[in-house]
Structure 1
Amino acid sequence: MKFSIVFDNYIANDRLESFWGFSLMIEDYFLFDTGSNGRALVRNMAKMGFSLQELKYFFISHPHWDHIGGIDSVIDENRLMSLFLPDSLSKFYVRDLRKLSREVKVISNPQKLFGKFYSTGIMEPIGEQSIIIEEEDFLIVVTGCAHPGVVNIIKRAIDMLKKPVLYVIGGFHLMRSTEEEINNVIKNLKSLGVEYVTPTHCSGDLAIEMFKDVYKDNYIPGGVGRIIEF
Structure 2
Amino acid sequence: MSNSPRLTILFDNVPGLPGLESLWGFAALIETGEQTVLFDTGSNGRALLRNMAALGLDPTAVDVLFLSHPHWDHIGGLDSVLECSPALTLVLHQGFSKHLIADLRGQCKDLVVVGAEPRQLAPGLLSTGMLSARSTQQGPPEQGLVLDTTLPDGAQISAVVSGCAHPGMERLVERGTAMLARPIDWAIGGFHLMYAGASEIAHCVGALQALDVAYVAPTHCTGDAARAAFRQAYGEHCAEGGAGREILLRPRFG
Regarding TM over 0.5, the answer is: yes
Q: CA deviation at 1:99?
A: 1.1
Matched, 1:123 2:141: no
Partner residue of 1:79 out of 86, 95, 117: 86
Matches of 2:196 and 2:177, distance apart in 1? 25
Provide the residue aligned with 1:160 in structure 2.
179
Matches of 1:74 and 1:23, distance apart in 2? 12
Provide the residue aligned with 1:112 in structure 2.
120
Paired letter, 1:33: D
Matched, 1:195 2:199: no
Structure 1 segments, 4+ long, off by >4 Å, are: none
SS of the aligned residue for 1:225 comes to: coil
After superposition, residues 1-230 of structure 1 pair within 5 angstroms as: 1-27=5-31, 29-108=36-115, 109-125=117-133, 126-136=140-150, 137-230=156-249
Comparing 120-129 and 24-33, the one that deviates more: 24-33
Comparing 3-12 and 23-32, the one that deviates more: 23-32
SS of the aligned residue for 1:100 comes to: coil
Q: CA deviation at 1:196?
A: 0.5
Paired letter, 1:193: D
Count of residues in Structure 1 that have an aligned counterpart in Structure 2: 230
How large is the RMSD of aligned CA atoms in angstroms?
A: 1.0
Residues 36 and 65, structure 1, Cα contact 8 Å, conserved in 2: yes
Matches of 2:17 and 2:200, distance apart in 1? 31
Matches of 1:102 and 1:188, distance apart in 2? 39
Matches of 1:13 and 1:217, distance apart in 2? 19
Matches of 2:212 and 2:7, distance apart in 1? 21
Matches of 1:41 and 1:138, distance apart in 2? 28
Matches of 1:58 and 1:86, distance apart in 2? 12
Q: CA deviation at 1:135?
A: 2.6
- Offset from partner CA, 1:39-97 (integer Å, 9 cap, x none): 10010011111111111110000000100000000011110000101111111111111
The unaligned stretches of length 5 or more in structure 2 are 134-139, 151-155, 250-254
